[in-house]
Amino acid sequence: MTCNAETRFFSEETLQDLSKATIPHHIAIIPDGNRRWAKGHFLEVTEGYLQGAETLITIIQAAKEIGVKVLTVFSFSTENWLRPKPEIDAVMKIMEEYLKNYQEKLMAMSIRFNVIGNTDLLPQSLINVINETKTLTQEGTKFDLILAMNYGGRDEIIRATKKIATDYKENKILLHDLTENTFSAHLDTSKWPDPDLIIRTSGEKRISNFLLWQSSYAEIYIEKATWPDFTPHHLLSAVLDYQSRDRRRGGGII
């Protein structure tokens, strides 16, 4: 992490352009383009992930400065296991090292850390650091950081359905009790409100199995810059664009 808890990215005049009434409470990010960035700079793929990790640290702090309260980042998908093993191993090691190295920074910034996804399949050393970081930061009250690790939206929905089926079998829930709220309560994200804004970098225009249930009414913002090139001012532009929209629920022709 190249910045400390006191670093500020925006002037007071810049932040005055924001409407405090419509700051997105929860932003979710699909940080695409790490490998593309590395290849474009004639570097090893792992260098892209390292630079992406640095970007994440910066964006966490910038989001907190803007007034966002929850940030969810798609760190490793269920589909990412199909990539070459050396690349997967490198990503796992980077995540483990960054979490370990910046636990104190998270605590200093009163950031509460959590993870969504099926973490059972992650390396045990990474699981240990995840659990340790969650415990150390559990008193954080100013910002929630959620990393989606071994996460897939369809997998999450299946796991939630299995939990509901088990509760039904054990007479903990009746069929007529099953509502959208009941289902949401069985998802990995039950502790937090659905995202208001989803940002995807590198110009790709798809959700890629990310927060499928939760993104039903989220605004989507596509940024052409790759994730390693994504800056606090890119984030601010996304939030300003979000504030310019007339948010509505529903669809269809009527």
Exactly one of 4, 17, 32, 177 is catalytic; name it: 32
Per-residue pLDDT, 2? 43
Its pTM surpasses 0.75: yes
196 is catalytic: no
**Integer angstrom CA distances of residue 252 from 145, 158, 248, 249:** 35, 28, 12, 11
> What is the pLDDT of the chain when averaged over all its residues?
94
The CATH number of the domain covering residues in 22-153+197-243: 3.40.1180.10
Per-residue pLDDT, 203? 95
Spatial distance between the Cα atoms of 144 and 112, rounded to a whole number of angstroms = 5
Per-residue pLDDT, 252? 57
Residue 33 has pLDDT above 50, yes or no: yes
Residue 4 has pLDDT above 60, yes or no: no
Residue 86 has pLDDT above 80, yes or no: yes
Q: Do residues 118 and 150 touch, judged by C-beta distance below 8 A? A: yes
Residue pointed to by tokens 């760190």: 75
- Percent of the chain clearing pLDDT 70 (strictly above): 95
Per-residue pLDDT, 17? 86
Per-residue pLDDT, 253? 55
Per-residue pLDDT, 1? 41
Exactly one of 4, 17, 34, 80 is catalytic; name it: 80
- Percent of the chain clearing pLDDT 90 (strictly above): 89
pLDDT in tens, 152-194: 999 999 999 999 999 999 999 999 889 999 999 999 999 999 9
Would residue 241 be called left, alpha or beta, if left means φ above 0 and alpha means ψ between -120 and 50 degrees? alpha
Per-residue pLDDT, 250? 63
Radius of gyration of the chain (CA): 19
150 is catalytic: no
Mean pLDDT of 197-206: 96
Per-residue pLDDT, 246? 85
Kindly give the interhelix angle for 85-101 and 45-66, rounded to the nearest 10 degrees: 40
Per-residue pLDDT, 50? 96
pLDDT in tens, 50-61: 999 999 999 999
**Amino acid identity, position 29:** I
Per-residue pLDDT, 251? 60
Mean pLDDT of 18-26: 95
